[in-house]
Amino acid sequence: MDAASDQGERAIFGSSGFLYRSNKLTYDRRTNSLWHALTGEPVVGALAYSGARLRQLPVVVSTWAQWRAAHPGTKALGLDTGYTRGYRPDAAYGRYYASPDTLFPVEPRSAALAPQAFVCAVTLDGVPKAHPLDALERERVVNDTVGATAVVLVADGRGRTVRAYRRGERSFRSIAADALVEGRGTRWRVTEDALIAGSARLERAPGHIAYWFGWYAFNPRTFLYGR
């Protein structure tokens, strides 16, 4: 994984195999420091407490069929790796995904949602907020505010596909095909980078899908949509 920090430095990352509070730690190949994936900060090694932080980017979960239809030129890693490790769905973590609880103790915890409930996690202006996936799938279009930033979250209603955009002073009321409908009927095309209507753009905001227990363990002061 190639990533840039807030300081503009680039680094190559790999998976360390270590977990902290059930969340994966990656390492950078230059210093071998361990970085936490949820916070984007180095927690062990030469860069720990250095103030370095990875810049957050938006992430989306999608089925291969949906993604390929929208991005037909996408290349995907093949399963024929030359190694014996199985890469079929749920080969490594099937039992974990099927369990209603965590494999290891995690603190602090919150009973506001089930431990493995999915949330769309968004942090803006230093303020963390979690949006339960079941609410997003039910409402499909959610106009909300995170910190001082007005956002709109768009869910496809069929899975864990959620995208967040900075909406400014606009408010959206529905989604039709691949477009959002604003006000009296202005349609905004939904793309990976932005909502687009003619020459106007509303940029994508960083957000990703997380388990509630993992998000809360590192953000116990998080806001929770609908609560």
pLDDT means over runs of 10, the chain (227 residues): 57 89 88 91 93 90 90 88 76 74 85 95 96 95 97 89 96 86 90 96 96 93 94
Confidence (pLDDT) at 6: 52
Q: How far is CA 55 from its chain centroid?
A: 13
Cα–Cα distances (Å) from 91 to 80, 96, 97, 136, in that order, read 15, 11, 11, 28
CA angle 81, 83, 88 (to 5 degrees): 70
Report the C-alpha gap between 95 and 100 in whole angstroms. 10
Confidence (pLDDT) at 101: 79
Residue 141 lies in a domain: yes
65 and 18 housed in the same domain: no
108 and 7 housed in the same domain: no
Residue 20 lies in a domain: yes
Is the CB of residue 115 less than 8 Å from the CB of residue 211?
Answer: yes
Confidence (pLDDT) at 156: 86
Residue 147 lies in a domain: yes
Owning domain of residue 220: 58-227
Residue 190 CB neighbours (<10 A): 18
30 and 77 housed in the same domain: no
Residue 51 lies in a domain: no
128 and 17 housed in the same domain: no
Confidence (pLDDT) at 1: 47
Confidence (pLDDT) at 2: 47
Residue 52 lies in a domain: no
Q: How far is CA 227 from its chain centroid?
A: 20
Report the C-alpha gap between 209 and 190 in whole angstroms. 19
Residue 49 lies in a domain: no
For the chain, the domain total comes to 2
Confidence (pLDDT) at 8: 63
For the entire predicted model, the pTM comes to 0.88
16 and 102 housed in the same domain: no
28 and 140 housed in the same domain: no
Confidence (pLDDT) at 121: 97
Confidence (pLDDT) at 112: 96
Confidence (pLDDT) at 43: 92
70 and 120 housed in the same domain: yes
Is the CB of residue 130 less than 8 Å from the CB of residue 149?
Answer: no
Walk across the sheet containing 10-20 and list its strands.
2-4, 10-20, 23-28, 34-36, 42-44
Phi, psi of 134 (to 5 degrees): -65, -35
79 and 19 housed in the same domain: no
15 and 91 housed in the same domain: no
40 and 62 housed in the same domain: no
DSSP annotation of 55: P
Is the CB of residue 143 less than 8 Å from the CB of residue 171?
Answer: yes
Confidence (pLDDT) at 167: 97
Q: If DSSP codes are grouped into helix, strand and coil, which group holds residue 10?
A: strand
Residue 53 lies in a domain: no
